[in-house]
């Protein structure tokens, strides 16, 4: 007959390990050195997902990680459904922080695009329904401008390289 306490301990340990992923330092460095920025940024960002907590400053992330999340959210939403989708799904709550993150990562053209979109959508909570055809056309033109921009993931990977001492600190066992 099995000892239920031992089984419970194993399950609790397995759950705890699954919730707190670790990354091997050599693998982390290999990702930072990668020539495939999309894969590198994606794989690195997957390690901090478990720490996302809206109740914490920067959602529980370091500042460089937070910048990456803001930018990935913005570009992902716009690439998927345009600025109207970004504002509908995210509102304007983190838009100013996103503009700052874009500037801090040297994605100034994207920050200008977002600033222009913010001029069209003055209050995302209820303004999308009030937008005119001209407003939606302006947002569509800003969507197109964003589509034509440089490789965002390469810039994000460089940001991770520069700030690596503040990236995946708990996952790398640096606490």
Domain boundaries, the chain: 25-166
Q: How far apart are CA 87 and CA 104, in angstroms?
A: 22
Q: How far apart are CA 162 and CA 172, in angstroms?
A: 17
DSSP state of 49: G
In this structure, the number of other CB atoms found within 10 A of the CB of residue 32 comes to: 16
pLDDT at 161: 97
pLDDT at 127: 62
pLDDT at 145: 95
Q: What pLDDT band is residue 3 in, cutting at 50, 70 and 90? A: low
pLDDT at 30: 96
Of residues 88 and 73, the one with the higher pLDDT is 73
Q: What pLDDT band is residue 91 in, cutting at 50, 70 and 90? A: confident
Q: How far apart are CA 39 and CA 32, in angstroms?
A: 10
pLDDT digits 0-9 by tens, 116-165: 999 998 765 556 778 889 999 999 999 999 999 878 999 999 999 999 99
Q: What pLDDT band is residue 172 in, cutting at 50, 70 and 90? A: very high
DSSP state of 165: G
Over residues 160-174, the mean pLDDT reads 95
25-166 belongs to CATH 2.60.40: no
pLDDT(107) > 50: yes
Please give the C-alpha separations between residue 24 and each of 49, 58, 65, 116, 125, in angstroms, as whole numbers.
17, 24, 18, 42, 43
pLDDT(17) > 60: no
**What's the predicted TM-score (pTM) here?**
0.84
pLDDT at 111: 97
* 122, HSE (Cβ side, Cα atoms, 13 Å): 3
pLDDT digits 0-9 by tens, 29-80: 999 999 999 999 999 999 999 898 888 999 999 999 999 999 999 999 999 9
């Amino acid at each position: 007959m099995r000892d239920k306490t031992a089984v419970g301990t194993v399950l609790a340990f397995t759950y705890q390990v699954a919730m707190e992923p670790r990354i091997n330092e050599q693998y982390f460095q290999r990702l930072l050195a990668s020539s495939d920025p999309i894969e590198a940024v994606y794989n690195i960002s997957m390690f901090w997902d478990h720490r996302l907590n809206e109740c914490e400053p920067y959602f529980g992330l370091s500042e460089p990680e937070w910048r990456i999340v803001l930018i990935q959210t913005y570009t992902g939403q716009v690439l998927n459904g345009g600025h109207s989708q970004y504002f509908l799904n995210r509102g304007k709550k983190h838009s100013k922080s996103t503009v700052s993150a874009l500037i801090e990562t040297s994605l100034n053209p994207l920050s200008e695009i977002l600033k222009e979109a913010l001029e069209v959508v003055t209050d995302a909570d209820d303004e999308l329904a009030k937008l005119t055809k001209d407003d939606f056309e302006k947002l569509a033109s800003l969507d197109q401008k964003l589509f034509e921009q440089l490789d965002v993931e390469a810039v994000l990977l460089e940001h991770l390289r520069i700030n690596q001492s503040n990236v995946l600190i708990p996952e790398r066992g640096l606490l």
